[in-house]
Amino acid sequence: MNDDHRSAGPSGDPDAASWVVRLERHPGDADVRREFEAWLAADPAHGRAWAAVSGAWDRLGGLGDDPEILAARAAVTAELEAERRGARLPWAAGIAAVMVTGAALLGYGAWRQGPSSDAPTQIAAAEALAVYRTDVGGRRTVVLEDGSKVTLNTDTEVRLTGWGEGRHLTLVRGEAYFEVSRNPTRPFVVTAGGRTVTALGTAFDVRLEPQRWSVSLVEGKVRVVADTGQVDLAPGDHLVQDGKNPWTVEKRDLDKLTSWRDGSLIFENRPLGVIVEEMNRYSARKIEITDPALAAQPLSGRFKSGDTAGFVATLEAYGLARAQSGSAGTIELRPIISE
């Protein structure tokens, strides 16, 4: 394996964050130390970058009594000894030209494995034939009698409400991905918030939130019906409706929208506040941002869903934000003030 996998800065040279990793991996290697000193001497900017990034890493000690942060740092240290693999995504312009890798500060092995899918269980309910649920951070796949599959995301409830000439399910809350076995004589109907999504043989994602709902069609064809009208979606279409506003349909990269099925969340040039809101869906411990400018800062990256501590450790290690324990067990993110 490549023992010195390094990420690169804008010039293509190893960046400061990669030197943090390499020096921790080879603490007594004189050759590595000489290369590092040559890198520092090559450009004054390298010294400033090193001070910012290494300082951010050390600041994780400020949460030294936090078991999640301790676990995250221990996982990072352990990962330095493991094989490094995985795709990398650049942070957006305006923050840093660094690469986020699944094998670096997020612990690629754990991200790759993801939460395990439990065997389907049935819970009796007066209004349903079966009820399927997940807790916060959970994920499971249910295989229906006809071979159709329903994958439930975090904090989700799906009810099987009819099984005969038609196949009827209700998404009560959360998000679910439906892979429908084709049967032209038995429509597959998902109801969510009073709207219906009807399919014959297809794959689609439905998400229901208090003030928003969406449908993403991966393959096949579905018809969405609501009080305000109906629309047929084509593969790649993403329908979203906020509150009582008219819905909109646009083409989206659905591999990214449905990456949660593999235990990862992918963001491209999204505000940090939006990223934090999405990360919070998967963890009982919440992250808070009180600084509007920091919340609006655009970032890109791929993260393990539910890995709050790893996400915070990454921001700290790359000098993008500073974390501290907040009230009610939250983690507060604050901007790093240049001295």
Assess if residue 87 is contained within a domain. yes
Question: Which of 10-14, 62-66, 143-147, 161-165 has the least mean pLDDT?
Answer: 10-14
Token pair of 204, please?
């689609």
Assess if residue 8 is contained within a domain. no
Contact 177, 262 (CB under 8 A): no
Better-scored residue on pLDDT, 85 or 332:
332
Q: What is the pTM of this model?
A: 0.64
pLDDT > 60? residue 116: no
Residue 134 shares a structural domain with residue 243: yes
80: closest CA among 16, 22, 32, 34?
22
Contact 205, 218 (CB under 8 A): yes
> Mean pLDDT over residues 123-137, rounded?
78
pLDDT at 133: 96
Percentage, residues of the chain above pLDDT 90: 48
C-alpha torsion sign, points 259, 261, 265, 271: positive
- The Cα 236–Cα 219 span in angstroms is 8
Token pair of 175, please?
């998000």
Assess if residue 11 is contained within a domain. no
Token pair of 54, please?
């290494």
Assess if residue 312 is contained within a domain. yes
pLDDT tens digits, 133-184: 999 999 999 999 999 999 999 999 999 999 988 999 999 999 999 999 999 8
pLDDT > 80? residue 88: no
pLDDT > 50? residue 118: no
Say which CATH number the domain at 318 has: 3.55.50.30
State phi, psi for 230 to the nearest 5 degrees.
Answer: -145, 160
C-alpha torsion sign, points 302, 103, 5, 313: positive
Residue 232 shares a structural domain with residue 138: yes
Say which CATH number the domain at 205 has: 2.60.120.1440
pLDDT tens digits, 198-247: 997 899 999 999 889 999 999 999 999 988 889 999 999 999 999 889 99
Assess if residue 81 is contained within a domain. yes
Residue 213 shares a structural domain with residue 98: no
C-alpha torsion sign, points 299, 258, 286, 16: negative
The number of beta carbons lying within 10 Å of the beta carbon of residue 210 is 8
pLDDT > 60? residue 328: yes
pLDDT at 32: 77
Assess if residue 305 is contained within a domain. yes
- The Cα 99–Cα 110 span in angstroms is 19
> Mean pLDDT over residues 261-285, rounded?
93
Q: What is the DSSP string of 195-221?
A: EEEEESS-EEEEEEETTEEEEEEEES-
Domains identified in the chain, total number: 2
Residue 144 shares a structural domain with residue 223: yes
> Mean pLDDT over residues 47-55, rounded?
59
Q: What's the mean per-residue pLDDT of the chain? A: 76
Residue 34 shares a structural domain with residue 72: yes
- The Cα 231–Cα 225 span in angstroms is 7
Residue 247 shares a structural domain with residue 275: no
Assess if residue 124 is contained within a domain. no
Residue 32 shares a structural domain with residue 95: yes
| Domain edge (last residue) among 229, 257, 285 | 257
pLDDT at 103: 27
Q: What is the DSSP string of 9-39?
A: -TTSSB-HHHHHHHHHH-TT-HHHHHHHHHH
299: closest CA among 282, 323, 280, 274?
274
- The Cα 139–Cα 116 span in angstroms is 7
Contact 115, 137 (CB under 8 A): yes
Assess if residue 54 is contained within a domain. yes
- The Cα 145–Cα 147 span in angstroms is 6
pLDDT > 80? residue 61: no
> Could you list the residue range(s) of the whole structural domain that residue 72 is in?
16-112+263-334
pLDDT at 52: 55
Residue 252 shares a structural domain with residue 267: no
Better-scored residue on pLDDT, 171 or 20:
171
Residue with tokens 């957006």: 92
Residue 251 shares a structural domain with residue 270: no
Better-scored residue on pLDDT, 121 or 195:
195
Residue 216 shares a structural domain with residue 134: yes
Residue 214 shares a structural domain with residue 316: no
3-state class (DSSP) for residue 88: strand
Alpha carbon 175 to its chain's center: 14
- The Cα 200–Cα 93 span in angstroms is 43
> Mean pLDDT over residues 294-308, rounded?
93
- The Cα 221–Cα 201 span in angstroms is 8
- The Cα 214–Cα 114 span in angstroms is 24
- The Cα 314–Cα 329 span in angstroms is 20
| Domain edge (last residue) among 232, 257, 282 | 257
pLDDT at 11: 39
- The Cα 254–Cα 142 span in angstroms is 21
Better-scored residue on pLDDT, 14 or 322:
322
Residue 85 shares a structural domain with residue 136: no
Question: Which of 108-112, 171-175, 217-221, 322-326 has the least mean pLDDT?
Answer: 108-112
pLDDT > 70? residue 196: yes
| Domain edge (last residue) among 257, 280, 314 | 257
